[in-house]
Amino acid sequence: MRVVIQRVKEAQVQVAGSTVGQIPKGLLVFLGIARDDSKPSADYLVKKITELRIFEDAGGKMNLSTQEVGAQFLVVSQFTLYGDCDSGRRPSFERAADPAMAQELYDYFVTRLKAVPAVVETGRFGAMMDVSLVNDGPVTFILDSK
């Protein structure tokens, strides 16, 4: 699994003009799932994301976790995180999981994140989505479960 996490002041996802997920201060999580991913991959990333100290303390240092600041999460599926652009001009998505497997692991990831406990909003799996955000910092990290 691969995630791109962005610390945001606010973020939302729209599908066909309707808002399906929206958060104030928190993390926007773009989640990509590979063919060889599994539930332990999701467990690892949920733990890592929720414990990562990327919010500023009173001294302005990144020293606080999502749990310490009450951050919310907006999780958006994004198979293009496994797009391979090394050869040719068209990305290959051979490493991306097939949709049925990806949705199962996406749902599992969201369920595990909610169990932290955390407020979790989502996009709509497999839909064309319009994602808007106000990046805080900007602060952006890429994490892999491997």
Q: Which residues are catalytic?
A: 78-80
Nearest to 94 by CA among 106, 85, 105: 85
> Between β-strands 55-56 and 130-144, what pairing exists: parallel, antiparallel or unpaired?
unpaired
Q: What residue type is 10 in one-letter code?
A: E
Nearest to 81 by CA among 106, 61, 62: 106
Instruction: Give the other-Cβ count within 10 Å of 127's Cβ.
Output: 12
User: Contact 82/34 with Cβ under 8 angstroms?
Assistant: yes
